[in-house]
Structure 1
Amino acid sequence: MTHQRHDAPVLVLGSTGQLGKLLRHHWRDRQDVTWQARHRGAVPVLDWSARDDLSALTRRLPRTRAVVALWGVRADRPDALGDNTELALRAIGIARATGADRVLHCSSAAVYRPGPDPLAETDIPAPINAYGQAKLDMEQAIAAEQDRDPKGPWNIVMRIGNVIGADSLSRAMAQASQDGTAVTLDRFADGTGPRRSFLSAAGLARSIAWLVDGPSHALPRVINLAATGATDMADLVRHAGLDLAWRPAPATAVPLVELDTSRLRRCIGQTDISAAAPDLMAGWSPAWGVTR
């Protein structure tokens, strides 16, 4: 089995974003990573903005073996969602210019239409909101670019579940801890609350490490990243030691979003990735607002 070479660094784009901060912490002992950010901070980074001249960046970069594109536009910036496609294409351009043989792109469970069954990579995407549509547009642009340049870098689209420390529930719990208030969740007609596919920050780091370091011939074009099974949001709030309040779920609320992780588990050779609240939240503190 041929593994990716380790004589060139991994380039992580968007290292000061929410996912980037989590990955930096869990990859703190890796010596083979170049971190890109819009401005310099405590961690040594390549100081470069996504809108800066691409040729200027590539002249400053060494040969790169993999590009991890964590940069992107969140759902709370609806006017800029189209930038997700532009950023993905720039990541591919950087990979070409630096000799990387793979690019990892961050997509989302939002590209799927929620339903009662686990959502598999082979399901036809059918997003129900603008953020999901923007991510699907990005995925389609990546696929078109791959087809246009089949000998270029291999593109892996990661459809990521809710990452503890980087999702809206984590932010709500951090705010509730700071304010001494309760976290409010929707309650559906059957008495249950929302259930989602989650992933711990450590689980995210392990999954990305496998995709970066693993054999290139085994890499899928699309892969769901999440723990095995869905987790009740209320369990996470209770595990954090916070008060919980309920409100009637509006008609637009979604009770379940569960990703099928069969492909991920086959790839990394792991039979189960725990979705239990204590495992997902290991190392998390509401006072920090992020997983450490």
Structure 2
Amino acid sequence: MATIVLGAQGKLGGSLIRHARRAQAGWVSQGRSAGADIVWSGDFDAAETGLIAAKDSTVINMIGSANGDTAALTAINVTFVESLLKHCASAGVAHVILASSVAVYGAGDGADFEESAALSPLTPYGISKARMEDVARGLTDTADCPAVTILRIGNVAGADALTRIAATHHGKGSPMTLHRYPDGSVPVRSYIGPADLFDVIRTLVPRPAEPLRILNIAAPTPVPLDRVLVAYRDHVFPDLKWDDAPTPTGVPPRVVLSTDALQRVVSLPWDADYPAEMAGQVAQDHAL
């Protein structure tokens, strides 16, 4: 059974393919330019779309956008996915894995988000991912739709906003900002390292018994952002510096995913110093 990664030239898709090649998993990559196993524009009217959906395969969709106006986000995160699922149904694909986001939950009340929680996205990106999930849910009610697994992914070390900001300031030699609340605490978030993300998704590739499966994707223990920065300084960005500043209004102190459902399917990584572990994975990913 083939496993095909769409968007393999993006951050998350590229990381998955690098780890798949290292593990000799035999995954097939799709991208828009040379270097991918399948070069495809993303146009479902193009003749080469037959190449992306081998019968009985698993298709992992990492094509998506976090930026742009509502129309652009809808086109990439919603309309494309609807076309993909219909195309995969026609081609006899067994299983489609879709990348969603913790952003579909919104700010919450500090409790860990379970997959059954009501969705209250606050951003255009989160809203587009919630709409994508609605489309997938509707299509899995049809008899010929592949099984669908929706991954509500937390922060992925190396592909998150904190990494991007740290890399920019490290390159300039200037300190970045770390937000703190009046009591001295910092925001706490769910994270997963890139190698662990690959291991989790690899385990989820076989077609599940249920037509629709929704899982939070993160390491079991959430991490404070100051510990993430220390780990990045120690393993990825030497001499990274930061200054404390008051946390802006509206930034929730705790956005954490429950991984209870995931742990019933996958053996998750855990380490007392997981920030160091995932930062080491980022350094390894850069080396790959």
TM-score by length of 2: 0.88
Q: In the alignment, is the contact (CA less than 8 A) between 2:147 and 2:212 conserved in 1? A: no
Look up the equivalent residue of 1:231 and give its one-letter code. Answer: V
Q: Which residue of 1 aligns with 2:175?
A: 182
| Letter of the structure 1 residue corresponding to residue 224 of structure 2 | D
The count of residues paired between Structure 1 and Structure 2 equals 277
In structure 2, distance between residues paired with 1:240 and 1:121? 30
Structure 1 unaligned blocks of 5 or more:
1-7
Residue 142 (structure 1) aligns with: 136
Measured in 1, the distance between the counterparts of 2:94 and 2:261 equals: 21
Q: CA RMSD in A?
A: 2.2
**In the alignment, is the contact (CA less than 8 A) between 1:164 and 1:291 conserved in 2?**
no
Q: 1:223 aligns with which of 186, 205, 215?
A: 215
- 1:81 is aligned to 2:73: yes
Q: Residues of 1 paired with 2:285 and 2:145: CA distance?
A: 39
The reply on whether 1:236 has 2:228 as its aligned counterpart is yes
Please tell me whether the aligned partners of residues 12 and 62 of structure 2 are also in contact (alpha carbons under 8 angstroms): yes
Note if contact 1:81-1:131 (Cα within 8 Å) is conserved in structure 2: yes
Q: 1:199 aligns with which of 183, 192, 195?
A: 192
The one-letter amino acid paired with 1:193 is V
Contact 2:4 2:52 in 1 (8 A): no
Which is worse superposed, 18-27 or 54-63? 54-63
Q: Percent identity?
A: 27
Whole-angstrom distance in 2 between the partners of 1:273 and 1:95: 35
In structure 2, what is the equivalent of residue 45 of structure 1? 37
Q: What secondary structure sits across from 1:58 in the alignment? A: helix
- 1:1-292 matches, within 5 Å, as 8-28=1-21, 29-41=23-35, 44-53=36-45, 55-58=47-50, 62-74=54-66, 76-79=67-70, 80-83=72-75, 84-113=77-106, 114-147=108-141, 149-213=142-206, 216-217=208-209, 221-241=213-233, 242-270=240-268, 273-274=270-271, 276-285=274-283, 292=288
Counterpart Cα distance in 2 of 1:60 and 1:279 = 34
Inter-CA distance 220–210: structure 2 relative to 1 (3 Å threshold): farther
- What whole-Å deviation, never above 9, does each CA across 1:153-187 have from its counterpart, x for those lacking one? 01111000000111111111211221112221221
